Amino acid sequence: MTTKENIIETEHVLDFKSKVPHIIKYMGSKSSLLKYLVDSINEIYEGENICDLFGGTSVLSGSLGHNVTIHSNDIQEYSAVLAKTYLGNYNWSEFESLIDDVIMIAQRHVDNVYQLYPELNFQYDTELDLNEFNAIEQQQQDLIYFDFEDIEHHLFIKNYSGTYWSFEQCLWIDALRIAAEEYSETPVYNPILSSLMFAMAYNAQSTGHYAQYRNANNIASMKDIIIYRNKEIVPYFKKKLNELIESTGHNRFNHTVTSLDYRECLDILPKGTLVYADPPYAFVHYSRFYHALETLIRYDYPEVLHKGRYRTDRHQSPFCKRTEVVGAFEIMFEKIKEKNSKLVLSYSNSGMISLKKILDIAQIILGSEYDVFSKAVDYTHSTMGRSEDKSREVKEYLIIAKPIK
């Protein structure tokens, strides 16, 4: 028999998509924990709008955006592009020859650059010895000092040739980035940029992030790098854009996407929004690992420094600093309480502060007005080549806080 309680419960069950098109390689992406996460949200869910406060890959938007209004936020602008890609409202029949059209515009840029600078032609022959290979890499890296005055759009060929990507791959990145601008007033702009981010990730010779590119110190590493140097941006771009076209369509929800600091985002959030928070938990700043994606989206010719060619204005998160992390959590709990919001917070047992410390902060700030409980799941966390071990067994905590009515 169906009781009234049962009806109320089933009315508020979030249905989620388990297969969200994968776009970027990202440390700490929750794509493999989606079911656990959504099941946990469902335990306290009563029909609220949802805010993904630290969106990252925006996979939660991809998973839920078809059945609930989402506010996706992250301080990094590339995350907004990913969220808008998943949450967009598309009428693809208006863009039937999109992929061919974008590639045609990009091809014009590529041809133009080769015509203006015929000397910039670097071939990765499989017969190269280590010295010859490193000389070709160095010539490309030195393009950072080259004056590209004759060609307006040259950010990637100047800053990144011979680093994460070859000159030719950078040329196509610039070309497709420029082609995307032709669509900047349409919803398909974001899927175009996302497909380019995917192609960049799978052509890069680094291990899934842009903190450091690999050096060819011996024949084996040279041969491995050559595999990546000989990949092409365009087939990856086409494959992802096709997949996005096939997997997205009309979306009737009025979603919001912002690139704000979490404090500002919480300030503008309507009262009672359910907040999912997945802040960084390690001392490494996301902005150092994914600066190249931020630069692709902003395309603002930033000053870059160090071997990794990081933008000098990259964001430093308070969650990644020992002296600021406690304060960062305190502010989060205070603002959650101000909004009378439910909170589902992800954290790791290898994080900057312990679960006990987070629960203590929650207790002090949320006090008797909230029920707070935690749960844990074993999780294999990818280190993206940051450490000797490629992945690590960690415990992923969920701290759930809900106002007592």
Ligand X SMILES: C[S@@+](CC[C@H](N)C(=O)[O-])C[C@H]1O[C@@H](n2cnc3c(N)ncnc32)[C@H](O)[C@@H]1O
Judged by beta carbon, residue 179 or residue 274, the one nearer ligand X is: 274
Residue range at the interface with ligand X (CB under 6 A); choices 27-35, 42-50, 154-162, 353-361:
27-35
CB burial of residue 298 (10 Å; 0-12, 13-18, 19+)? middle
The alpha carbon dihedral of 381, 382, 385, 391 has a sign of positive
d(CA 270, CA 267): 8
Query: How far apart are CB 265 and ligand X at their closest, in Å?
Result: 7
Q: Which stretch binds ligand X (CB under 6 A): 2-10, 69-77, 84-92, 113-121?
A: 69-77
Minimum CB distance to ligand X, residue 106 (Å): 28
Q: Least Å distance between CB 317 and ligand X?
A: 3
Beta bridge partners of 380: 393
The phi and psi torsions of 278 (rounded to 5 degrees) equal -130, 70
Residue 395 and residue 379 in contact, taking contact as beta carbons nearer than 8 Å: yes
Does position 273 bind ligand X by CB under 6 A?
A: no
Q: Compose the 277-316 pattern: x for residues touching ligand X by CB under 6 A, - for all others.
A: -xxx-----x------------------------------
* Residues 6+ away with beta carbon under 8 Å from 25: 201, 208, 209, 384
Q: Are strands 304-305 and 50-52 parallel, antiparallel or unpaired?
A: unpaired
Nearest approach, Cβ of residue 235 and ligand X (Å): 25
**3-state SS assignment for residue 13:** coil
Q: Is 382 in the site for ligand X (CB under 6 A)?
A: no
Residue of 279, 261, 284, 271 lying closest to 361 (CA atoms) = 279
Stretch of 26-34, 169-177, 193-201, 381-389 contacting ligand X, by CB under 6 A: 26-34
Q: 16, 25, 56, 106: which one contacts ligand X (CB under 6 A)?
A: 56
Task: Kindly state whether residue 30 participates in binding ligand X, applying the rule CB under 6 A.
Answer: yes
DSSP string, 322-343: TTTHHHHHHHHHHHHHHTT--E
Cα–Cα dist 45/172, whole Å? 45
Binding mask 313-352 for ligand X (x = CB under 6 A): ----x-x---------------------------------
Handedness of CA 50, 79, 362, 349 (dihedral sign): positive
Q: How far apart are CA 68 and CA 48, in angstroms?
A: 8
> Which of residues 88 and 318 has its CB atom nearest to ligand X in the complex?
318
Residues 73-102, one symbol each (x = binds ligand X by CB under 6 A, - = not), give -xxx--x-----------------------
Among 181, 261, 324, 334, binds ligand X (CB under 6 A): 261
Beta strands per DSSP E along 162-308: 256-258, 274-277, 304-305
Question: Using CB under 6 A, which of 28, 65, 187, 351 touches ligand X?
Answer: 28
- Which of 95/286 has CB closer to ligand X? 286
Q: How many residues bind ligand X (CB under 6 A)?
A: 20
Q: Is 276 helix (H, G, I), strand (E, B) or coil?
A: strand
CB 226, min distance to ligand X, A: 31
Q: Residue numbers of the site for ligand X (CB under 6 A)?
A: 26, 28-30, 54, 56-57, 59, 74-76, 79, 261-262, 278-280, 286, 317, 319
